[in-house]
Structures are given as structure tokens and as C-alpha cells.
Amino acid sequence: MHFACRLATLLVVGLAPVNSWAGEPLPRSVLIFDQSEPNSPWGSVFRAAFRSSLSAASAEPIAVYVETLDLGRFKGPQYEEPLRTFLREKYRGKPIGVIVPLGSAALKLLLRLRGELWSGVPVIFAAVDEAAATQSILPPEVTGSILRLPLRNAVVAARSLVPGLKRIALVGAPFERQPYFSHFKQELQDFRGDLEFVDLLGLPMEELRARVAALPDDAAIFYTAIYVDGAGITYVPREALRTVAEAANQPIVINAEPQIGYGGTGGFLAVADPVGQDAARRASRILKGERASDIPITMGDFARPVFDWRQLQRFGIDEKRLPRGSEIRFRPPSMWEQYRTPVMTALAVVLLQSAMIAWLLFERNRRRVAELESRRRLMEIAHMNRSATAGALSASIAHELNQPLGAILSNTEAAEMLLAQDPPSIDVVKEILADVRNADLRAGEIISRLRGLLTRAEFNLQNMDLNEAIHSVVQILGAEAKERSVVLTADQGQRALLVRGEPVHVQQVLLNLAMNGMDAMLNCVPGNRRLAFETALNGESEVEVSVTDTGTGIPKDKLKSIFDPFVTTKQKGMGLGLSIVRTIVETYGGRIWAENRIGGGAVFRFTLPLAKARPA
């Protein structure tokens, strides 16, 4: 019988290309013959993977029909007979190119129906257990992949979940009633030496829950599937898993993808994706003209190590112990995963801002350093300018100094003579001594003024008396003015006029302006050389100082530029004095400008901010 069948198969296989569909293309349609119920996750994933892989492999559209048969709950001739009639009527006029039975029960049913309904249509089975695919002789034009789920996978997973694993509690329907796990009975023998298997198969739920709640620490639970418990109550396997897991005190190893997330800790799960892809590849080849019989039947575990993060947490299992390449599901997405874009954006903004702030700080620092440097240089130049002024004034200052020195000498010589007289004129000598002291003090003052001119001074905001500065400038210039026949006047109030600034620098401003004015009067008639300092309050906040001369005035085109460096109206001028003056005035928060006087001569005016705490 067997031999005859094989012979027939060979004959059919051999003849088929000749008489069956030689040159006649298969209808471009596929029927998925799914043994599970319509909502089965595994079936859904399989179908989705199959459809997408198939359409990706084919340029033309292929119709895919699906029959979800729910064979777990509906079986027997009373179901099969109406089904047969139903399918025959349903697919009348809908030629099918390839039929894909999903699951062992579906394959078996299909093989029973094929002869009548879809004679000779190629079959690609998927997720079929080894026994179903090998125990009976397959008819021709049948190919597919065998799903083998070895017990070893479960043991490996259990060992990774429970360190020092000694026993595995087996939970589920008895193995002989589960086609996919029927081979476990033999495999169990392989591990008997190392592990103890606690048989909790087929127990009523209540008892089962009590047993799994009292397992020792070195035990793991291996859950296959419960459809009906020992008390005869029907379950959806994954709901049964949830009930068991609630009570379990040890991790539960599972081996089907739909069960993840229902209380199972994880394990090597048979995943539907690659199974669907494999079936689609085969379908595509057949639709392109290959013979189904020419495509070998293969066997694979299609299993991936997948674990439930929540269960790992529950049992305190370190992820590092899990098999290499394990996928962790249900991990709450980290802040980073959940808000990647906003976090990145915020981070980028913060980074950008920080960079900007850093840059601005850097620039600010550079600016500060540059300002300090420029100020230092200015003070240096101002000091050089003062030294030069001191040099220019040295002749007249020496003259001025000789005045008290001469008086002292003549007075002492007169005193000597008066003391030599008989009787000596003591009263006159007393007067002489007083005069000598005064002259000496005057000489000391002249020297200290000269020294003041040579002092180094830094930028310094302090309250200073502007009138005193004018007074000291008049003193310093007195001798020089006399020599040049210039009449110096300073209109000064009695009150101190407090401004903010460094006395040395303010004095320098006045001195430079005065020297300029005196230079401008070199060619005037001696009787008409007048230089005047005047001050006037300019509102509440500043004071305006004017330095007026009766000299030649300033050429109109130079009124503005005269404060620029190296601009001069003098024959021998460097053009630095006024630029230093302007820089100093502006450094202390004032303004400076020049005007020509009606009737000849020039007026230089500058302002300085008044000190706030002005004495009333």
C-alpha cells in the first residue's frame, strides 16, 4: 500500500510537469488555512508577515484568502462535513494557487479536504509539529517548515532565570495532548540526572495555584498551555497563564510568543514572523513556477529568547544572566526613549546656550582685558604727556624757584650785616627770619607741584574739588605766564566744586588746554595775552569748564578734528595733547569741544559729572 502510494506519488510528480500545469500559470491567489481562532495573536502575526513578505516578493497583486478554523474548539465529523460543503460553495469560481495550512491540525484537515476541494493545488504547511509532518506520508505538491520546540530551550531559559536550578515544575495540559510538545516525554529523560521534574500537568487550577505558590527557591516553572484544567474548566491558554502566574512564587518559563506579557517570565519563544516569511518565500517560488515537491521540507525552532522586564524585576533577575541576544519587552521606556526628540532639542538648546554664554563670557573677558590694557596705555601716555609738560615748564619753574631762593639768600646776608651792627637790629632780623621761613615754604610748594606733575596716576573716580585743580594749574603756570606776558585769570567761587575724577588727570586736562592757549598767543601783542578759566554749573549733574585765550583761534576746518591724534595747528606740535585731553575727559564721563571766540581767540569747553554728594 505504502509502496503503491509512493509509486503513485513518483508517477504524479514525474508526469505533472507534462500534463498537469505545464505552461499554465497557477492562479495568483493563496488561501491561508489557519487552525487558530480569528483573534489569535500568533496567527495574526503570521498572516501579516506572510502578506507583507509575499507582496514584497511579487510585482503583481496576489489575492490572499484566510480561513480561521478554530480547530482547538471545533472538531469532529459534525464540524468537518458542513465545513467541507461551506468551503466548496465559498470557493466555487475562486481558483486557489497555493494553500498554506497553519498548524498541524490545519494540515491534517486540509489533507483530508484537498482531494475533493483543491485537488493538486500545492500546499505549504507552516508551524507544523514534527510528528504531524513525518508520521504520515505526505501527498505530492506539499512542502513547508516544521516547527520544533526542543525542551532544551526551556531548560536553558530556566537555568538563566534561577541560579542553581534543581527542579522544574511542569505546568500545562499533558504533553500527549499537545502535539507540539509530545516529544518532551522523551527529552525529559536527557535531563533526569541533573534536574528533577515536578509534574503538575493536568491539575485543577485551584490545586495548581497552591502548588506553584509553594515551590522551593531552586525551582522554575515551565508553562506550555492549559486549554482545559483537571476540573474540566476551559481556558484560553494565556489567560490560564495569567492565573497561574499570579500565584507562582518562582519564574515561569514559556515558549510561545503570545504568552509573553501574561505573567510568563520569558524563554525561547516560537515567533510567528520568521515562520510567515518562510511560508511566503515558498509561496512566491511556487507561484513563479517551481514545483512544491522540489522545495525541501525544513525544520527550525523559530525561537528567540524573549523576556518580560516586569517579571525580571518581580523576581530580581539580573539581565546579564539571560541568554545572549535576549530581547527584553515591556521595559518602561526611559526618559531618553520616550522623549528623545524633545530631550535632544532641549539638550541642544541648552548646549547652544551654554556655548553662547561661554563665548560671551570669553568675549567679555577679552574686552575687559583690552579695556584695562587700553586704559593702562592711556595712563602711560598721559604720564608721558605730563612729563613733557613738566619739561616745557621747567625753565619757568626754575625761575620761579629762584625767586624765594634769592630772597632767602639776600635776607640771610642782610641779617648777618644787621647782627654785626652795634647795636644789632634784632627786630629787623626777626622779620627777616619770618620772611626766610615763608620763602622756604614757597620753594617747597613749587617743588611739590613739579613733583605732582611727574606723579603716576591710575584711573580713579573720587570726589575732587575742581576749583582746587584750577587753582593748582594757575600756580603751576604762573611763572610761565609771566615769562610769556600772559595774564592768567580764574573765576573761582568760594565753594568747593566737587566732581568725580582723579585730580592729577583733571589737572592735566586744564594744563594742556592752558598750554595750548598760551602757545596760540605767541604772536599776539604782549599787552593782549589773556588766558581765563571759568566754571559754570550745567544743570544739576555736570559742570562746564571753559579755557579761553585771545590767540589766533582755530582754523574752521579743524574745529572738529583738532582732538584727533596727530592733528595740530602748531608748527612743532605733536598733536597728542588735545587727543589725550579728550580721552581723559571721556574716560571720566565728560564731553569736550572747541569754539572760536568772536573777536579772536578760542574757547575750549569740557564737562565733568558732578559728585552726587555735593556739600550744600
Residues that bind other proteins (CB under 8 A): 395-396, 398-411, 413-415, 417-418, 421, 428, 432, 435, 438-439, 442, 481-483, 485, 487, 526-527
Closer to other proteins by Cβ: residue 393 or 602 = 393
Q: Name the minimum Å distance from CB 435 to other proteins.
A: 6
- For cell 594742556, the residue is 512
Closer to other proteins by Cβ: residue 19 or 421 = 421
Residues 6+ apart with CB under 8 A from 388: none
Q: Name the minimum Å distance from CB 396 to other proteins.
A: 7
Contact at 8 Å (CB) between 466 and 491?
no
Q: Name the minimum Å distance from CB 531 to other proteins.
A: 13
| d(C-alpha 386, C-alpha 380), whole Å | 10
CA–CA distances in Å: residue 584 to residues 313, 478, 556, 606: 75, 24, 24, 11
Closer to other proteins by Cβ: residue 443 or 464 = 443
Closer to other proteins by Cβ: residue 80 or 483 = 483
| d(C-alpha 26, C-alpha 17), whole Å | 13
| d(C-alpha 257, C-alpha 271), whole Å | 6
The DSSP call for residue 64 is E
DSSP string, 407-446: HHHHHHHHHHHHHHSSS--HHHHHHHHHHHHHHHHHHHHH
Side chain identity, residue 62: I
Q: Name the minimum Å distance from CB 402 to other proteins.
A: 3
Which ranges of 426-576 would DSSP assign to H, the alpha helix?
Answer: 426-453, 466-483, 503-520
**Burial environment of residue 348 by CB neighbours within 10 A (0 to 12, 13 to 18, 19 or more):** exposed
Side chain identity, residue 119: S
| d(C-alpha 312, C-alpha 251), whole Å | 8
Closer to other proteins by Cβ: residue 58 or 403 = 403
The DSSP call for residue 561 is G
Closer to other proteins by Cβ: residue 178 or 528 = 528
Closer to other proteins by Cβ: residue 318 or 427 = 427
Closer to other proteins by Cβ: residue 356 or 398 = 398
Residues 6+ apart with CB under 8 A from 357: none
For residue 395, give the C-alpha cell: 625753565
**Closest Cα partner for 269 from 188, 327, 197?**
327
| d(C-alpha 43, C-alpha 28), whole Å | 22
Q: Name the minimum Å distance from CB 417 to other proteins.
A: 4
Q: Name the minimum Å distance from CB 399 to other proteins.
A: 3
Side chain identity, residue 194: D
Closer to other proteins by Cβ: residue 63 or 441 = 441
The DSSP bridge partners found for residue 300 are 147
3-state helix, strand, coil in the chain (%, to 5): 50, 20, 30
Q: Name the minimum Å distance from CB 499 to other proteins.
A: 30
| d(C-alpha 477, C-alpha 514), whole Å | 8
Closer to other proteins by Cβ: residue 525 or 616 = 525
Closer to other proteins by Cβ: residue 439 or 476 = 439
Q: Name the minimum Å distance from CB 484 to other proteins.
A: 9
